[in-house]
Structure 1
Amino acid sequence: MIKTTDEGPHLHILVVGWEGGGNVPPTLAAVRALVGRGHDVRLIADDTMKAEAIEAGARFLPWKRAPNRPDRTFESCFIRDWETADPLAGFQRGCERIFVGPAQAYAEDILEALAAEPSDILLGSDLLFGSMLAGEIAKVPTALLASNISLWALPGHPPFGPGFQPARSATDRARDAEVSAMVEQIWEGFLPCLNAARAHFGVAPLTHVYEQHLSAGRHLLATSSSFDFPTEHLPNRVRYVGPLLEMPSWANKRWAYEPARATRPLVLVSFSTTNQGQADVLQRVISCLAEEPIEVVVTLGKALEGLRLQSAANVTILPNAVHDDILVKARAVVTHGGHGTIMRSLHHGVPLVVLPMGRDQNDNAARVDYHGVGVRLDPSIAPQMLSEAVRRVLSEPSFGERALALGRTIAEEGPGAARLVAEIEDFVKRSAQGALSAA
């Protein structure tokens, strides 16, 4: 099926996407890069991504059996992790409702798409076990795209979730082992569900849930190795491709700094494009910064654009905005710690104050702290301490210097889109060579 031209191979690629907020821009960036290279790309995803997929040059397929969000309102969210204060309970919801629970439905939709039109490679999601299962069943080369750091701990890394720093003592290693066992126990609770899906397709059961992701030949991390913790050795199947930064389609409002207000430091406040129950935290941040001699720009996401917040004379609240316009002037960013916001801030050399609220944010914040490019705070922190943290990041040059240096290092690794394309083309080439050798 692979056609080769002077510019390289022409591949038929099926990309898997789902509406999870921060994972959408990297998925669309991958689609755009692959189409730009001349590959034929189909994206199977939620209806929310249809217009963006077509604009990026892909042919779109909707989920039929699998969960499919019709819009980006918080009412349509399947996981609804903001309804519980327990992060483990939120993680279990994700596993039950999206990641593992509907694996059979996701796999059926993907297999139907592959049967209708064979592909040279399946670019699945590191969170959708159904995409991994479909690749295994169809025996098509399968790569998984992670929109940020690895969900599965790399050698020498702490377990995903709590936001630990790398272990430096026997006590730390015992801590990591205890949490890893706890997380594994949660995963294993979904083993019967996953094996039932496998039995439906006539494939052998697994002993552990994590074995499913090993069926994919590549695990592509859309983050920077320089931002991530150092690793003792990187498994050959795991590749850093770099950040895939693409602004959401709805973030289209241009922002211009008013010259009359340009004498005071500018701080960007951004707390996710999806609902995490962050209204109270966001209001406390605004009220806190209203007392400071700074200018504040607050951007809301699609799911928060109707949120009513009390503002102040030095605060501008925008329902959506192009962050790059603000970051070229900003001296600091106050954020929940989403991967995209952090990467974009570092791209502009802007230090951060991070108040993680769950998901991958604790681990992103741990890396910000590790590299000294900002400070990490608990979202429940007292206003006075938050003010002090913002003043510190603004007043101590070392934060900005380290953020600028790390941003340059990340840029020197090369553009993520080009690296992702190169990895996919190399993987398909090696898979074809392996198939020929086996024959």
Structure 2
Amino acid sequence: MRKNFLFATWAGGGAVPPTLSVARALRERGHGVRVLGDRSLHDEVAATGAEPITWTTAPQGDTTDPAGDLLKDFEARTPMGAFARLRDRLVCGPAADFARDTLAELRARPADVLVTDFSLLGAITAGEAAGIPVAALGTTLYPFPAPGAPPFGPGVRPATGVLGRLRDRLLEEMIIKPWAKGLPALNAARTANGLPPVDSVIDAFGRVDRFLVLSPRALDHPGRRFPSYVRHVGARLDDPAWVGELRLPEGEAPLVLVSLSSTFMNQRELLRRIADALGRLPVRGLLTTGPAVDPATVHAPGNVLVTSVAPHSAVLRHAAVTITHAGHGTAVKSLAAGVPMVCVPLGRDQGEVALRVALAGAGITVCKSASPGTIARAVGRVLHDPSYQRQARRLAAEIAAETATDRAVTELEDLAERAPGPSPTLSG
């Protein structure tokens, strides 16, 4: 039976393609799908067959232009500063605006299920106030506290012994405490919509019917125990609509794909050092700068082809190694293709993704300030030690099994079937 789904998302770089992949899959199954999001996403949404709708009062951004980036976390001097921008400019600060826009759309055209990026607590608030099922999409590793794993963020290995467990408790307190500054704005949005306040921001992330983790279960800590509403539904491996045609550098040498963030993260100098590193090796390099960096600003040796975009899923069928910032999308696509990695985390969730890749034996990590020589040695190590490719191929088999059926769509259709159905109107 045809159902109606309202998606809520934002111009969050790597979070956009997996979200729109789910929207496309539902549309292809004959459901009605609308996507409430930033104006800059209009064309990408339309390419999925879904109907794009623009936020009216909620803040908007455009990650292809640093000046239009909503968070501008590349301006932050510390990780805490970057976190504060996320909290104040997206998750909590404008929660009332996101709630207002989402409820306005639901009143105009009711939906059976609200599907929202997990970071949009304002949209989650709107779904709760409207009384319809809410599914949050986690487009990276599950980031909240759960028994059996260290806290998400610092990129530390699982604890062993009493001291390790003490370390985890202290880290968890340090990570949760800064969320408190966002609680007044969040609770103001909740009470304005007739909902009781929550005791913590972390609690609000769990006020959903489903939290769908669009990430391989094999990348998470094996002993981790999740809340009952959390489902690992597998990674989305679709390329964005803007990736262009396949073009590979000439020759037969091993191919190294370079992919840093699709958003601006002050990565231009690192791209230059990576290009220099590849010039020292008997390889072919395909260096993609992403939409936010002009490829003409990255000077490269003759064995490295520099381009703005490329269809990574197609490139990876030819690649021997990926050099990446360890963004979740690039990492899981590389693993799905059985390609090991050299990870160079720049911030955000990337340290955690890089750690999981290393723990799985499918790659190594170097720091973002690494010299061309250090990067070249890391690439040589991954190229010539067969254990990295062996572990990447092991994960590829697990990802293939996990994505053989579309678990995200199944979960969302199940939510819609069990829902009472949208009312003709919602109270104002």
TM-score by length of 2: 0.95
Could you tell me how far apart the structure 2 residues matched to 1:222 and 1:151 are?
Answer: 12
Say if 2:221 is the partner of 1:229.
yes
| 2:146 aligned to which of 143, 151, 154 | 154
| 1:275 aligned to which of 241, 264, 275 | 264
Of the structure 1 ranges 195-204 and 20-29, higher mean CA displacement relative to structure 2 is found in 195-204
Say if 2:241 is the partner of 1:249.
yes
After superposition, residues 38-437 of structure 1 pair within 5 angstroms as: 38-69=30-61, 72-258=64-250, 261-262=251-252, 264-305=253-294, 308-415=297-404, 418-432=406-420
Deviation per CA, 1:4-62, whole angstroms, max 9, x where unpaired? xxxxx321110111001000101110110010111111100001111221221111110
Contact 1:242 1:415 in 2 (8 A): no
Question: What amino acid is aligned across from residue 31 of structure 2 in structure 1?
Answer: H
Could you tell me how far apart the structure 2 residues matched to 1:72 and 1:354 are?
Answer: 23
Could you tell me how far apart the structure 2 residues matched to 1:306 and 1:271 are?
Answer: 12
Contact 2:66 2:292 in 1 (8 A): yes
Structure 1 residue 207 displacement after superposition = 1.2
Question: What amino acid is aligned across from residue 275 of structure 2 in structure 1?
Answer: I
Contact 1:40 1:58 in 2 (8 A): yes
Structure 1 residue 231 displacement after superposition = 3.3
Instruction: Flag the 1:34–1:68 CA change in 2: closer, same or farther, 3 A.
Output: same
- Describe the SS at the equivalent of 1:140: coil
Question: What amino acid is aligned across from residue 366 of structure 2 in structure 1?
Answer: L
Instruction: Flag the 1:379–1:294 CA change in 2: closer, same or farther, 3 A.
Output: same
- Describe the SS at the equivalent of 1:342: helix
Q: Which residue of 2 aligns with 1:5?
A: none
Structure 1 residue 428 displacement after superposition = 2.8
Alignment gaps of 5+ in structure 1: 1-8, 434-439
* Identity across the alignment (%): 36
Instruction: Flag the 1:411–1:144 CA change in 2: closer, same or farther, 3 A.
Output: same
Structure 1 residue 219 displacement after superposition = 0.2
Question: What amino acid is aligned across from residue 172 of structure 1 in structure 2?
Answer: G
Deviation per CA, 1:234-290, whole angstroms, max 9, x where unpaired? 3220001111122122211321452xx11x221111111100111121211111221
Of the structure 1 ranges 232-241 and 358-367, higher mean CA displacement relative to structure 2 is found in 232-241
- Describe the SS at the equivalent of 2:36: strand
Question: What amino acid is aligned across from residue 145 of structure 2 in structure 1?
Answer: A
Q: Which residue of 2 aligns with 1:437?
A: none
Deviation per CA, 1:320-379, whole angstroms, max 9, x where unpaired? 111123211211111100111011111111100001111110110011011000001211
Of the structure 1 ranges 96-105 and 80-89, higher mean CA displacement relative to structure 2 is found in 80-89
Deviation per CA, 1:278-334, whole angstroms, max 9, x where unpaired? 112121111122111211110111111356012101111011111123211211111
Of the structure 1 ranges 129-138 and 384-393, higher mean CA displacement relative to structure 2 is found in 384-393
Could you tell me how far apart the structure 1 residues matched to 2:223 and 2:108 are?
Answer: 41
Instruction: Flag the 1:77–1:415 CA change in 2: closer, same or farther, 3 A.
Output: farther
Structure 1 consecutive aligned stretches of length 4 or more whose deviation exceeds 4 Å: none
- State the Cα RMSD in Å: 1.6
After superposition, residues 18-37 of structure 1 pair within 5 angstroms as: 18-37=10-29
Contact 1:305 1:320 in 2 (8 A): no
Instruction: Flag the 1:64–1:306 CA change in 2: closer, same or farther, 3 A.
Output: farther
Could you tell me how far apart the structure 1 residues matched to 2:213 and 2:107 are?
Answer: 28
Structure 1 residue 75 displacement after superposition = 1.0
Contact 2:244 2:309 in 1 (8 A): yes
Of the structure 1 ranges 82-91 and 347-356, higher mean CA displacement relative to structure 2 is found in 82-91
Could you tell me how far apart the structure 1 residues matched to 2:92 and 2:278 are?
Answer: 41
Question: What amino acid is aligned across from residue 169 of structure 2 in structure 1?
Answer: A
Could you tell me how far apart the structure 2 residues matched to 1:70 and 1:363 are?
Answer: 25
- Describe the SS at the equivalent of 1:155: coil
Aligned length: 421
Contact 1:250 1:302 in 2 (8 A): no
Could you tell me how far apart the structure 1 residues matched to 2:342 and 2:80 are?
Answer: 24
Alignment gaps of 5+ in structure 2: 422-428
Could you tell me how far apart the structure 2 residues matched to 1:170 and 1:384 are?
Answer: 40
Contact 2:11 2:62 in 1 (8 A): no
Contact 2:47 2:241 in 1 (8 A): no
Could you tell me how far apart the structure 2 residues matched to 1:162 and 1:228 are?
Answer: 15
- Describe the SS at the equivalent of 1:154: coil
Question: What amino acid is aligned across from residue 174 of structure 2 in structure 1?
Answer: M
Could you tell me how far apart the structure 2 residues matched to 1:70 and 1:166 are?
Answer: 37
Instruction: Flag the 1:222–1:71 CA change in 2: closer, same or farther, 3 A.
Output: closer
Structure 1 residue 71 displacement after superposition = 6.7
Could you tell me how far apart the structure 2 residues matched to 1:332 and 1:15 are?
Answer: 35
